[in-house]
Amino acid sequence: METRKVLSSLCYFSIFFAGFLFPLIVYFATGDEVTKRHAKKSLLSHLIPLIPTALMVFTILNDIFTMHDRISAITIISMIVLLLTWGFVVIWNIIKGVKILISE
């Protein structure tokens, strides 16, 4: 198996073990343009869930500091959006990693 395929696929699979760190290292360490492109795509896909995570943290802190007795609707909605985003990103990374490994 080619090193380029393995590294490119590991960039996507790194969502399970190294987050955005592994694709970042591969992006700067490799000279192969195809591997760099996959490292960049996987890095961006690993960073996408940070947006809803920030929204959820903000809404939870808002609930805490306003001292409501119950959780607000926006907090529940942000939790649902975060879970859906993470689920989509994980599935997309698995599909992309497998596609690279089995491609000719």
The C-alpha atoms of residue 15 and residue 53 are separated, in whole angstroms, by 16
pLDDT at 98: 95
Domains in the chain: how many in total? 1
> Which residue has tokens 């993470």?
86
How many other C-beta atoms are found inside a 10 Å radius of the C-beta of residue 5?
18
Nearest partner of 14 among 95, 88, 97, 98, judged by Cα: 97
Average pLDDT per consecutive 10 residues, the chain (104 residues; last block may be shorter): 87 89 93 92 91 85 78 83 92 95 81
Residue span of the structural domain in which 16 resides = 3-102
pLDDT at 79: 87
pLDDT at 20: 82
Do residues 85 and 52 lie in contact, with contact meaning Cβ atoms separated by under 8 Å? yes
The C-alpha atoms of residue 34 and residue 103 are separated, in whole angstroms, by 13
Cα separations in angstroms, 94 against 56, 63, 99: 25, 35, 9
pLDDT at 38: 93
